[in-house]
Copies of this chain bind each other. A is one copy, B any other.
Amino acid sequence: MIIVQDAAFDTGAEIKRLTDNNTQIGAVVSFTGLVRDFNDGANVQSLTLEHYPGMTEKELEKIEALALNKWDLTDSLIIHRYGKMELGEAIVLVVTASAHRSDAFEAAAFLMDWLKTKAPFWKLEENSSGSENWVKERSSDIDAAKKWD
């Protein structure tokens, strides 16, 4: 399942929702991405995430379908927020459930790597000085995504 929303989410509640009443799941991996106080610049105070409504959902659906095809997963979930987020708030959540831990781990890492390089979101950092900065693409993200080709 994929969800694109501006509202905050609760990682624990989402993991629970995915695993409750399914006794074939042996392994659940979650990744939560948070707003941290340094990124391209120092003293980040908040982030605003812009996205491309319509295309965002399509890309996330494609990425999830690839993961479900490549690994033995019981279920998966991607939640990605847009809008303004304060320091420490969760931006993105990926959860993968499987009978086997290696599938759950690899699929979650793949989902994050692809999401970072394919999903049409853009981060605007707001610093404590009041300046704004569009976050730049990272070569490490591109390299991370390439390893799944």
Chain A interfacial positions (CB closer than 8 Å to B)? 10-13, 15-16, 19-39, 87-88, 99, 101-102, 104-105, 108-109, 112, 140, 144
A143 to chain B, nearest CB (A): 10
Q: Which residues of B contact A37 (CB under 8 A)?
A: 23-24
Beta-carbon contact of A15 and B34 below 8 Å: no
- Please tell me which one of the listed residues B10, B16, B105 contacts residue A31 in the complex, with CB atoms under 8 A apart: B105
Beta-carbon contact of B32 and A15 below 8 Å: yes
Q: Which residues of B contact A112 (CB under 8 A)?
A: 101, 105
- Please tell me which one of the listed residues B19, B29, B32, B35 contacts residue A108 in the complex, with CB atoms under 8 A apart: B29
CA distance A20 to B11 in the complex (A): 13
Q: Which residues of B contact A21 (CB under 8 A)?
A: 88
Q: Which residues of B contact A13 (CB under 8 A)?
A: 12
- Please tell me which one of the listed residues B15, B27, B104 contacts residue A12 in the complex, with CB atoms under 8 A apart: B15
Q: Assess A12 versus B23: contact at CB under 8 Å? Given A30-B29, A31-B29.
A: no
CA distance A32 to B25 in the complex (A): 10
When C-beta atoms are compared, the residue in chain B nearest to A19 turns out to be: B34
- Please tell me which one of the listed residues B15, B24, B88, B105 contacts residue A105 in the complex, with CB atoms under 8 A apart: B105
21 residue pairs bridging A and B, Cβ less than 8 Å apart:
A12-B16, A15-B30, A15-B32, A19-B32, A20-B88, A21-B88, A22-B88, A23-B36, A24-B36, A24-B37, A25-B34, A25-B88, A27-B32, A27-B34, A28-B34, A29-B29, A30-B32, A31-B104, A38-B99, A102-B140, A105-B109
